[in-house]
Structure 1
Amino acid sequence: MFDFIINAFATLFVTIDPVGLAPMFLAVTAGLSTQDRRRVAMRATITAAAILMLFFVAGQSILNILGISVSAFRVAGGILLFLIAVEMVFGKRAARKSETAEKAVEDHPPSDFHEVAIFPLAIPLIAGPAAISAIILLSGQAPDTVAYAGLAGVILIILGSCLLAFLLAERIERLLGDTAQLVITRLLGVLLAALSIQFVADGIRAFILV
């Protein structure tokens, strides 16, 4: 069970990347007061939590309704996570997220902080397709009820990390700098690539054994 929790934490932390979200938060909340930024951070985190917990609880049921096997979703989800990892290693993901943040700033003036909290912060920067896929995959792999409950705790910890990163965004950006952020992103990308390949391998093995 302990190995499962560690694996879940690593997968979700790398996929959501709370530290990497700090510059995006600053971009979409430019021009807002400190108090409004805190409101945006809270609203975005709560919204993302509701979305992710929905798929945590009902993800397997959704797959069953759609007639998708867990093995098939493992392969598909693993491929999706691998593509995210490739973007991280080659520095493409940060550029894509920045583009999403810039578009949101253009579409929603700083005064529309409620909309900015929903898009792009909650969706797709926190609760994006990769995070949702990872949660459904991990919830299906939980070996027992205790591990399943532990996964819920991991999700909440990651979301808490996102909130903390938003609140400390200016300090994080000054502390790390561009070079450190690039190095960390690439290292986490390699880790996510390995984890995603494991998901694909598990899915293929399940197909073969059926």
Structure 2
Amino acid sequence: MDAMDLSFLTASLVTFFVVIDPIGVAPIFASLTEGSTPTHRRVMAIKSVLIATAVLFGFAYMGEWLLGALHVSLDAFRAAGGVLLFMLALDMIFETRSKRREERAEALNEADEEIAGTNEDISVFPMAIPMLAGPGAIASIMLFMNEAEGLGGQLMVFAGMGANLLLCLGLFLAVGAIMKLIGDTLAAMITRILGVILAALAAQFLFDGIRGALLAG
């Protein structure tokens, strides 16, 4: 593994950890599967991660074709992705994203009062999309795949993405014990620190997109 591959692995690990936010998603999964049987909870955890993986793989290889069909340049997408990730970072720093996720979970529970204790399938929506494979994760995988050089760089990007999705799976399977161990205060502190890191990464994406557009022009 050369220095370039290592840098891609590190960047993808950090970026996907921030945009997927396993620590923030785990409580939502716990809320939506409250009262479910252990078997159903396990099936939902596995299906959610598999579907999110498929979605991100699809955008990793088909995203550039989609942009071409829409006549959108990669530099424009890079800049737009930077803006999107920066907005996500602000949400994390001020904890507005967590509040929206809680409100979304409450809305789902109100829409179906029998969701707890039933076999309600939450794997596609809202867990896989948009909780795991949301706009931030989709933008990130497309940006990294565009910048990766060769198969080694692409494998490092997928390794970073895969590690975070496996972390989500582990948290989902042990969500009860994990949430008691972490606590709300520690989870909020980690979220804010990662939000600052994501803001810096987002700014770099934005600067790279603007620079690329200026050079191309």
TM-score tier by shorter-chain length is over 0.9
Aligned to 2:100: 96
Select 1:69's aligned residue among 73, 81, 94: 73
CA deviation vs aligned residue, 1:167-197 (integer Å, no higher than 9, x gap): 1111121011111011000000000000000
Q: C-alpha displacement at 1:34, in angstroms?
A: 1.1
Q: C-alpha displacement at 1:128, in angstroms?
A: 0.7
Q: C-alpha displacement at 1:150, in angstroms?
A: 1.8
AA at the equivalent of 2:72: I
Q: C-alpha displacement at 1:107, in angstroms?
A: 3.0
When normalised by structure 2's length, the TM-score is 0.93
CA RMSD after TM alignment: 1.2
Select 1:194's aligned residue among 186, 194, 200: 200
Distance 2:194 2:102 in 1: 18
Please say if residues 55 and 136 of structure 1, whose CA atoms lie closer than 8 Å, have aligned partners that are also in contact. yes
Q: Are positions 1:148 and 2:154 aligned together?
A: yes
Q: C-alpha displacement at 1:163, in angstroms?
A: 0.5
Question: SS of 2:106's equivalent?
Answer: helix
Question: SS of 1:113's equivalent?
Answer: coil
AA at the equivalent of 2:108: A
Distance 1:198 1:107 in 2: 41
Q: C-alpha displacement at 1:53, in angstroms?
A: 0.9
Please say if residues 9 and 159 of structure 2, whose CA atoms lie closer than 8 Å, have aligned partners that are also in contact. no
CA deviation vs aligned residue, 1:87-118 (integer Å, no higher than 9, x gap): 0001111111111222222334232432x111
5+ residue gaps in structure 2?
Answer: none
Question: SS of 2:72's equivalent?
Answer: coil
Q: C-alpha displacement at 1:145, in angstroms?
A: 2.0
When normalised by structure 1's length, the TM-score is 0.96
Aligned to 2:125: 119
Q: Percent identity?
A: 39
CA deviation vs aligned residue, 1:138-179 (integer Å, no higher than 9, x gap): 111112221012212222221111111101111121011111
Query: What pairs up with 1:27-42 in 2 under 5 angstroms?
Result: 27-42=31-46
Aligned to 1:49: 53
Please say if residues 29 and 37 of structure 1, whose CA atoms lie closer than 8 Å, have aligned partners that are also in contact. yes
Query: What pairs up with 1:16-31 in 2 under 5 angstroms?
Result: 16-31=20-35
Aligned to 1:177: 183
Please say if residues 104 and 120 of structure 1, whose CA atoms lie closer than 8 Å, have aligned partners that are also in contact. no
Q: Are positions 1:7 and 2:14 aligned together?
A: no
Select 1:162's aligned residue among 168, 171, 183: 168
Distance 2:107 2:128 in 1: 15
Please say if residues 19 and 172 of structure 1, whose CA atoms lie closer than 8 Å, have aligned partners that are also in contact. no
AA at the equivalent of 1:153: A
| Structure 1 moving runs of 4+ over 3 Å | none
Aligned residues: 209
Q: C-alpha displacement at 1:30, in angstroms?
A: 1.1
